[in-house]
Amino acid sequence: MRIAFDKENMDDMTKDIKNKTGEGQTMWGGRFSASPGELMQAINVSIGFDRRLAEQDIAGSKAHSDMLAAQGIITAKDRDAIHQGLDEIGEEIANGTFAFSDELEDIHLNIEARLKEKIGEAGGRLHTGRSRNDQVATDFRLWVRGKLDMFEAQLTKLMQALLDQAEANTDTIMPGFTHLQSAQPVTFGHHMLAYLEMFARDRSRFADCRTRMNESPLGAAALAGTPYPINRDMTAEALGFDRPMANSLDAVSARDFALEALAAASICAAHLSRLSEEIVIWTSAQFQFVSLTDAFTTGSSIMPQKRNPDAAELIRAKVGRIVGALTSLTIVMKGLPLAYSKDMQEDKEPVFDAFDALELGLAAMAGMVADMTPNKDRLAEAAGAAFSTATDLADWLVMNLNMPFRDAHHVTGTIVAMAENQGKTLDALSLPDMQSVEAGITDDVFRVLTPLASASSRTSYGGTAPSEVMKQVKRWRDVLL
């Protein structure tokens, strides 16, 4: 594969960088007498994606310059000039007038070069006592931390949507499944609460990850610390970290915070995918359990009758991106010696892509859950199919005839076969028919053979009975206030 370059444009960029940094020099310093070759430039540059760290880079630089001035390493005048210049650069980036340069490799050098253009010599003092290694590690942690906070808010919104559905459907009967076969009747509210519990654990995982990652690498410099009398506690506090990282080698080389965040994101995406799969099934013509409005469905270019649950299908697919990002970064990190290696430039793109996908998936799912309308009649009909109250019959035999459960299981199986041969549901069988299998059965048995009676009897903690669902709804209302 041939890589094409615009040589005239590159020559102009090279002249521009020479004007900014000195003839024949790069931002790396005086050791190199020539700019990088074209292929090296192409593989080395990261500004195309790490420009997303601009806000974090400016925040880190302001905290660092504040600390340098407080420690007497730079003057207050230089600090003020640095802050003013960084504020102006932030405005340029926000309004789209900042000229990003591939020649300057990354967001750090782009901002630093522009700062020097704006304020002159004082801009060159900003990098005292730090390296791009601890700078990028700090920026990346700040960015990931911000996304974890956003995911917590998004998950809370999704949990509230699920809770609303649960509260509105505490006694809406539906089939519960194992192996995607009708098993026992449950309530729709109970089903919604199951996903609420899953997403609550996801929210907890993100919170745990945030706690572990909330340490500051800033001041670790390249890998060994710095001889300048810096105050790492000051910069950590200014940036909202709990403490500075305790080992400079670890500070610049650790990416387990990103791996842990991706692992939590992968589990969350799997939960989104499971719910998406159910919505795809439930909205099908064969099930018709729920309906979605036009807001979350699309039509077909050829089949006018179609209403496709594309939002759910796309959320279901995005788990591949997110798990793929976890795999990608794990492989990048698995063989790296301490401390920093350029391989670690590959840490950001998979994280950016995965978190974009999760952000969109969480927002779409919260909207879809709120939009969803259960078809109560169809759910009730399906709940009574496939002899779903057979276990209730077995339980009745145990509790009322003192029959061992295994014997009750056998008797119930025989009665189910009878109902199947007659084309009837269990509650439609005659009492004499059931007594022909087990003489001790009385008409009291019909009390447990309807789907609603079955669900209502499951009053153990965490069970599907409407009374238990209401208890859990109340508990979660208190939690999510």
* Residue 231, token pair as written in the block: 């105050």
Contact, 101 vs 17, CB < 8 A?
yes
Give me the residues paired with residue 181 across strands: 178
Selecting among 46, 108, 131, 179, the annotated active-site residue is 179
Give the DSSP per-residue string, 126-177: TTTT--HHHHHHHHHHHHHHHHHHHHHHHHHHHHHHHHHHHHHTTT-EEEEE
- 238 φ/ψ angles, rounded to the nearest 5 degrees: -60, -30
300 is catalytic: yes
3-state secondary structure the chain: CCCCCCHHHHHHHHHHHHHHHCCCCECCECCCCCCCCHHHHHHHCCHHHHHHHHHHHHHHHHHHHHHHHHCCCCCHHHHHHHHHHHHHHHHHHHHCCCCCCHHHCCHHHHHHHHHHHHHCHHHHCCCCCCCHHHHHHHHHHHHHHHHHHHHHHHHHHHHHHHHHHHHHCCCCEEEEEECCEEEEEEEHHHHHHHHHHHHHHHHHHHHHHHHHHCEECCCCCCCCCCCCCCCHHHHHHHCCCCEECCCHHHHHHCCHHHHHHHHHHHHHHHHHHHHHHHHHHHCCCCCCCEECCHHHCECCCCCCCCCECHHHHHHHHHHHHHHHHHHHHHHHHCCCCCCCCHHHHHHHHHHHHHHHHHHHHHHHHHHHHHHCEECHHHHHHHHCCCCCCHHHHHHHHHHHHCCCHHHHHHHHHHHHHHHHHHCCCHHHCCHHHHHCCCCCCCHHHHHHCCHHHHHHCCCCCCCCCHHHHHHHHHHHHHHHC
Look at the block and give the residue holding tokens 């439609």: 428
* DSSP element (H, E) containing 291: strand 290-291
Selecting among 204, 300, 436, 467, the annotated active-site residue is 300
Contact, 313 vs 276, CB < 8 A?
yes
- CA atoms within 13 A of residue 163's CA, in its CB half-sphere: 20
Q: Is residue 285 packed enough to be buried (19+ CB in 10 Å), middle (13-18) or exposed (0-12)?
A: exposed
Catalytic residues: 179, 300
